[in-house]
Structure 1
Amino acid sequence: MPITDEDIAQLARDAEAAAVAIIRGDMRTYLSLIRHAEDYTLLPPFGGGARRGFDHSEEAVEAMANQFQGGEATLELVRSYVSGDLAVLVAIERQHGLVLDLPDQDWSLRVTLVFRRDSDGWQLAHRHADPLSHPVQPGLVAALARGEPVG
């Protein structure tokens, strides 16, 4: 069955609701909205290497929830792509909130979400998120690429 415009619209609504749930530390709601593929990969917004798989253990879910203490989020869909049973959303998660021990601030992320449809619905196969939703000077990008501390 072909992926429809309504399928993409629903994926975008679910992705937005999932972003709201995460920034509020509500991992139970997040996990009710997003099913992760067994071969899920993540390029996390704090940098570092790719992560493989999603840790559904109580400890991991609780640790992730504890990083986020509240905020708001919306999803600005930039573009979507469809091929076979794959759907890709390119978006900006416009969000602010309390993360870790930092004050309420802008936490907007550029995200690429790759969903794969199977007999049970949609599963998230890949997420790439980075905090570069605002322009950054080339010198800062170069320092980050070298792994140098900034700020």
Structure 2
Amino acid sequence: MSVILGLQLAEGKDMAHRDATAADVAAIVERCRLANAAFMRGDMKAYLALISHADDYTLMAPFGGAPSRGFDMSGERLEAMARFFRAGKTELEVVQSYTSGDMVVLVAIERQRAEVGGLPEQDWSLRVTLVFHRQGAEWKLAHRHADPLVNEISLEQAAEIARG
């Protein structure tokens, strides 16, 4: 076995023509766990050292609104995010993972407490779906969908949110 970027590869297999393995999923889960912890602490440098975003990355943010495209890596944007997220403590609970060829999908709950947007520390747990796509030797985050509905809400509450 060879190891590239923390992922074990079967000898003689072309990475671009190899299905995702259990070792790939385990490595992605660990990187997500560490990256989310860094993100919620406001450590964007550590986050970006662990997670690469695909050029066609899409985000459905937990605060709603239209999906965004691309990941803004400008210094200004990263500094703003670093100020927005503070003192986070996190756990990653993987509910299910799926693989197909060069794709890995994680369905998870990010259980976390943090100071977000200047608010006092509170529970900011999210339900997330993460889609990774292998590009060459690297697994890149292609899509993230997150929502704060970890705790069940009533039909009336959902209707109120849907009305805006």
TM-score range with shorter-chain normalisation? over 0.9
Query: Normalising to structure 1: TM-score of the pair?
Result: 0.95
Instruction: Tell me the secondary structure at the aligned position of residue 65 of structure 1.
Output: helix
What do the CA deviations read for 1:95-120 (whole angstroms, capped 9, x no partner)? 00111121111000000000000113
RMSD: 0.8
Matches within 5 A, 1:109-148: 109-147=126-164
Question: What count of residue pairs does the alignment treat as equivalent?
Answer: 147
Query: Is residue 80 of structure 2 the alignment partner of residue 63 of structure 1?
Result: yes
Which of 120, 123, 148 aligns to 1:103? It is 120
2:53 is aligned, of 36, 39, 45, to: 36
1:18-46 alpha-carbon deviations (Å, 9 max, x no partner) = 11011100000000111000000000001
Secondary structure, aligned partner of 2:39 = helix
Letter in 2 for 1:80: S
**Higher radius of gyration, 1 or 2:** 2
- Runs of 4+ aligned structure 1 residues displaced above 4 Å come to none
Secondary structure of the residue that 1:97 maps to in structure 2? strand
Q: Structure 1: give runs of 5+ residues left out of the alignment.
A: none
Identity of aligned residues (%): 54
Q: How do 1:44-83 and structure 2 match up within 5 A?
A: 44-83=61-100
Q: Following the alignment from structure 2 to structure 1, what is the Cα–Cα distance between the partners of residues 36 and 43?
A: 10
Looking at structure 2, the residues matched to 8 and 24 of structure 1 have their Cα atoms a distance apart, in angstroms, of 24
The 2-side partners of 1:118 and 1:99 are apart by 33
Q: Deviations over 1:62-98 (max 9, x none)?
A: 1111101112111100001111101000000010011
- Once residues 85 and 120 of structure 1 are traced to their aligned partners in structure 2, the CA distance between those partners, rounded to angstroms, is 11
Letter of the 2:36 partner, please give it: A
In structure 2, how many angstroms separate the alpha carbons of the residues matched to 1:118 and 1:83? Answer: 14
